[in-house]
Amino acid sequence: MVIDTNVLLVANGSHQDVSAPCRAECVARLQARQKAGVVVIDDAFRILKEYQLKTQPNQPKGVGDVFLKWLLQNIANDKRVHRITITEMQPDEFDQFPDKVLQPQFDSPDRKFAAVAHAHPAKPPVWQAADCKWLTWWPQLAAHGVKVEFLCRADVQRFYASKFPNQPMPGLPDGP
C-alpha cells in the first residue's frame, strides 16, 4: 500500500470535517497494516518526511502518529516496508509519474504517491481518505495501472460537491 498523508491525519482526528465512520476506517486500515502487509514509500524518504512534518511520532497521541512511529521502526524491514526509487526531474515532478499529461494538473505534493505506486513492480493501490481532487484523477491513474482506494467514499464525494459545486460529481472506482 502507498498511503497518502491524509489517511494518517484523519486517523489522528486532525481533519475535523470528516465523519466518524471515515475516521474509524482510517484507524482500522492503519492498525491492520501494522499487523500485516507492506507499506511502500520512496527511497529518498519524501513520503516519510511529509508524514513527519504533519504528525508527531515522538509523542504519539493519535493512530496516525503511532503508525508513523511503527513505520520508522520497520524502515529497514523489507518484509514490511518497500523503498522504491523515483527520479525527481524538477521539484515535485517525477519521471515515474504514470501520466505525463496529468502530472501538471496534479497537486505537487501528491505526485510522489502516484509515482511510487507506479514505479513499484506490483503497482500497489494508493489509499486516499479525504482529498476530493483525487476523484478527478483516479481514472487516468487507473488507465496506467495505478489504483486509488478511497477509504471515505461518502466524505470525499461530500467534499467534492462543496469544493466544486458547479462540477458534475465524478464516479468512484469499484471496490471499498
- Residue 67: what pLDDT? 93
Residues 86 and 42 sit within 8 Å (Cβ to Cβ): yes
pLDDT of residue 107: 94
Residue whose entry in the numeric block shows the C-alpha cell 467514499: 153
Please state the rounded mean pLDDT for residues 46-53: 94
Average pLDDT over residues 16-24: 94
Q: How far is CA 109 from CA 32, 63, 71, 174, in A?
A: 26, 22, 20, 26
Residue 36 pLDDT > 80, yes or no?
Answer: yes
- pLDDT of 14 reads 85
Position 42 scores a pLDDT of 98
Contact 7, 30 (CB under 8 A): yes
Residue 175 has pLDDT above 70, yes or no: no
The pLDDT value recorded for residue 61 is: 82
Residue 142 has pLDDT above 90, yes or no: yes
Every domain of the chain and the residues it spans: 2-163
pLDDT in tens, 124-141: 999 999 999 999 999 999
Q: Are 135 and 144 in contact (CB under 8 A)?
A: no
Q: Report, as an integer, the average pLDDT of 84-98.
A: 96
- pLDDT single digits (tens) 147-174: 999 999 999 999 999 999 999 999 999 8
